[in-house]
């Protein structure tokens, strides 16, 4: 497997774990600040952790890479839309924008590996 691709997958999975487990109090305050319901926060966390696990186990089956990366991409598009809707500063949009870009890279690299 490409070392860069593996590094990007580990980076995404680690950052999602860090934000949703270690800094969970920040997630609680952000979802409250944005006026989003608790069930959406919980669903988002479950989906992010699941998609991150798919990336880590993608070496077993490339379809896991594709599903995981497109799932994270979709969630990051929603995160960007929420940031724009609430008018947050550009600096606060950077983490989700970076994950969006990296997830697209993972998707493209995994897709072209099958071609």
pLDDT tens digits, one per residue of 25-80: 999 999 999 999 999 999 999 999 999 999 999 878 889 999 999 999 999 999 99
Using the predicted structure, report yes or no on whether residue 115 has a pLDDT greater than 70.
no
Domain count, the chain: 1
Name the pLDDT band for 2 (thresholds 50, 70, 90).
confident
Q: Which two tokens stand for residue 13?
A: 């999975």
Residue with tokens 């890279």: 105
Full residue range of the structural domain in which residue 68 is found: 3-114
SS (HEC) of 4-23:
HHHHHHHHHHHHHHHHHHHC
Q: What is the pLDDT of residue 59?
A: 79
């Amino acid at each position: 497997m490409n070392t860069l691709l593996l590094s990007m997958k580990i980076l995404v999975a680690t950052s999602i774990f860090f934000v949703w487990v270690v800094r969970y109090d920040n997630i609680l305050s952000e979802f409250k600040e944005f006026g989003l319901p608790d069930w959406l926060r919980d669903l988002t966390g479950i989906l992010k952790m699941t998609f991150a696990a798919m990336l880590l186990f993608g070496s077993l089956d490339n379809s896991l890479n594709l599903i995981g990366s497109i799932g994270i991409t979709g969630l990051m598009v929603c995160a960007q839309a929420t940031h724009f809707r609430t008018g947050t500063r550009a600096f606060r949009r950077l983490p989700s924008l970076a994950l969006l870009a990296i997830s697209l890279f993972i998707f493209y690299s995994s897709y072209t590996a099958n071609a």
